[in-house]
Amino acid sequence: MQACPEVPDVCRKGFIVEVLLIAIGAGLAFIAAYQTYGRWLGRKIFRLSAETVCPSIRLRDDKDYVPTDKSVVFGHHFTSIAGTGPIVGPAIAILWGWLPALLWVVFGSILIGAVHDLGALVVSLRNNGQTVGDLAGRFLNRRVRVLFLMILFMALTIVLAVFGLVIAAVFRQFPSSIFPCLIQIPIAMLIGKWLHGKGHHLLMPSILAVTAMYLSVIFGDAGWLHTFNARLAAWTNFEWVVFLLAYSYAASVLPVWLLLQPRDYINSLQLVSALGLIVVGLAAAALFGGAPLADGARPALKMAAPAVQWNPAGAPALIPFIFITIACGAISGFHCLVSSGTSSKQLRCETDAQAVGYGSMLLEGFLAVLVILACGAGVGLGLKGAGGAVLTGDAAWQSLYASWSALAGLGAKVGAFVQGSANFIGALGVPNAAAVALMGVLVASFAGTTMDTACRLQRYVVQELAHAAFGGAPAGAAGGSPLHRFAANKHGASIIAIVTAGLIAAFPAPGREWSWANAGGGGLILWPMFGATNQLLGGLAFLVILFYLRRTGKPVWFIALPALFMLVMPFWAMFVQLFIGNAEAPSWIASRQWLLVGIGAATLLLEIWMLIEAARLLPRARPDAAPSHAPITTAQ
């Protein structure tokens, strides 16, 4: 074992395994939390029962309500909630040091994020699979429901407008990932068709699907496929956005078992196995060093990132911004939409909710831990610097994390994780090109599964808004106006969702002139407020869960503090962005970003309004005042 060049007089062994011990410790903490706190929530608080008839069975329509095996729903749920959030967020937040990021991910996932996801899933299960927007109307009042739906619509529009750009950027940076990602669509549809209604066991299609997808990674850039990938990598951002929105429309209106479910499931198999490969590679790098460099030496694995860095150059304050920078991976309001929008309509047994709701969030938290380790230590195993020289250790990390502005652009954020995790895998002898392609597929696949699920969720939101706007008349009711019938129909609502996102995306990114080459980045205009809006959505979902618990006579102490925390931190962060800012990132008012000012101020006012409504209603939220189970009249 080579001595550490930075600390030549200190034995390396204890320092080398530090990175491995962090991964092992975090993994054990998540397992222990699932078996203790998660089980207590499921059994003692929510009292999950296998005897309860789930909405997927009671309201089965084989389109949205489809009783499904737990492993398939887990795959759909995990890949939908993960997206690029647990990758991009920790890759930025590690600039404040790996320790604050790690603590927020581990404790946030266990005590806040997983509780939020499980709570939203159970409340929806107990209320005919209704979405969190409808549930806000049932457990608070109709005004809160409309306010909630407006925030949901805005947040999902940003996701749809930006994630196409995210995928385009990944494909442009890693062209070898294009064919492996596209081939997943027909594979998923074949698997869905094979499994639906025929009672086939999951083992054989799972093996075939994973084998096909890994072969596509290994050979997906060879021969004519290299030309194919290169041509698609040359597409403009807007071309990719249009293509992906069209795909999302199809995924939104097709029966869930045909595309959304199987694609998310087979993606989860590939992605979870890839995470396992990263862990094995991390262990190999910790014990034996990274892949040999040009001189044959194996670089030692160590944390190149500082443990804590309170004032990185140009960065906003650690508190509150770390809590909105790392969203997915600790807690994300988007997850309540997946829990109540799609997963609750697919679970066939109520006791599966613990694995799907609580367990998926913990797995996402572990993904975020691996991202922290890849960006904090993996990049130090070898990174090409200026002029082609290979940098290692602290020099490699500093080349990426010199300042807050150095992280500008998606490439810097995703690239740090892809290169760091590829270095872990490279310690096993896997060629760097194959490792980078696999990690590029992982990032693009996470983004793709989130985008198609977001479109389906936005369809539900549009239908619910149409339902609320027309006086609560059932969708498709006789005498309804043409606009009502269009917006309440799944095709019409999906079209509204993708057209709205497409129009926003058609604009160029901030600071660029409009041209065909620059179009597609319009979602970035609103992106600065997404972190706070997303986390605020989590706080508002906690309010809905809290009111459900109060109305059903269950304890609320374990959820009150997380709810308060997730209402205060996003409000604080958005207030700073609106009115204070810093030298490198002036406030939205100072920089005259009037669109952000208007929407941000409106969001803060909506939160204040909702909190006033909640405070007024809370004393009356008693078990004897619980609402009856309302029939489903939307999301048809």
Task: Convert the pLDDT of each residue in 551-586 to its tens digit.
Answer: 888 889 999 999 999 999 999 999 999 998 877 778
Question: Residue 188's closest CA among 241, 112, 265, 126?
Answer: 265
Confidence at 505, pLDDT banded by 50, 70, 90: confident
State the Cα–Cα distance between residues 73 and 113, nearest whole angstrom: 19
Query: Could you report the per-residue pLDDT of 615-631, keeping only the tens digit for each?
Result: 887 777 777 554 444 43
Any idea what the Cα angle at residue 88 is, between residues 180 and 96, rounded to 5°? 150
Confidence at 23, pLDDT banded by 50, 70, 90: very high
What tokens appear for 263 in the block? 């694609």
587 has pLDDT over 90: no
Share of the chain above pLDDT 70, in %: 92
Share of the chain above pLDDT 90, in %: 33
Q: What's the pLDDT score for residue 17?
A: 67
581 strand-pairing partners: 586
Burial of 202 (0-12, 13-18, 19+ CB in 10 A): middle
State the Cα–Cα distance between residues 209 and 385, nearest whole angstrom: 38
Segment holding 384, helix H or strand E = strand 383-384
* Type of residue found at 430: V
State the Cα–Cα distance between residues 342 and 388, nearest whole angstrom: 47
Mean pLDDT for 316-327 is 92
* Type of residue found at 250: A
Q: What's the pLDDT score for residue 154?
A: 83
Q: Is the dihedral of CA 284, 285, 288, 290 positive or negative?
A: positive
Query: Could you report the per-residue pLDDT of 362-381, keeping only the tens digit for each?
Result: 999 999 999 999 999 998 88
- Helices 557-579, 594-617: axis angle to 10 degrees equals 150
Q: What's the pLDDT score for residue 177?
A: 87
What tokens appear for 261 in the block? 């479910």
Query: Could you report the per-residue pLDDT of 241-273, keeping only the tens digit for each?
Result: 899 999 999 988 888 888 888 888 888 888 888
Q: What's the pLDDT score for residue 10?
A: 31
State the Cα–Cα distance between residues 630 and 174, nearest whole angstrom: 49
Q: What's the pLDDT score for residue 626?
A: 47
Looking at per-residue confidence, does 75 or 12 come out higher?
75
What tokens appear for 211 in the block? 């084998």
**pLDDT averaged over the chain?**
84
Q: What's the pLDDT score for residue 197?
A: 62
Q: Is the pTM of this model over 0.75?
A: yes
Q: What's the pLDDT score for residue 7?
A: 35
Three-state DSSP state, 390: strand
Any idea what the Cα angle at residue 176 is, between residues 171 and 180, rounded to 5°? 90
- Cα-Cα-Cα-Cα torsion 191, 197, 199, 203, nearest 10 degrees, comes to 10
Q: What's the pLDDT score for residue 16?
A: 55
Three-state DSSP state, 383: strand
Mean pLDDT for 115-126 is 95
Confidence at 200, pLDDT banded by 50, 70, 90: low
Q: Is the dihedral of CA 158, 155, 566, 553 positive or negative?
A: negative
Q: Which CATH architecture has domain 13-625?
A: Up-down Bundle (1.20)
Q: In this structure, are residues 429 and 226 in contact, taking their beta carbons and an 8 Å threshold?
A: no
The residue extents of the domains of the chain are 13-625
Confidence at 634, pLDDT banded by 50, 70, 90: very low
Looking at per-residue confidence, does 473 or 521 come out higher?
521
Q: In this structure, are residues 252 and 635 in contact, taking their beta carbons and an 8 Å threshold?
A: no
Q: What's the pLDDT score for residue 267?
A: 84
State the Cα–Cα distance between residues 309 and 560, nearest whole angstrom: 31
Query: Could you report the per-residue pLDDT of 426-452, keeping only the tens digit for each?
Result: 999 888 888 888 888 888 887 888 888
Buried/exposed code over 80-90 (b: 16+ C-beta within 10 A; e: otherwise): bbbbbbbbbbb
How far is it between the farthest Cα atoms of the chain?
A: 84
Q: What's the pLDDT score for residue 63?
A: 86
State the Cα–Cα distance between residues 279 and 137, nearest whole angstrom: 44
State the Cα–Cα distance between residues 540 and 614, nearest whole angstrom: 10
Q: What's the pLDDT score for residue 171?
A: 87
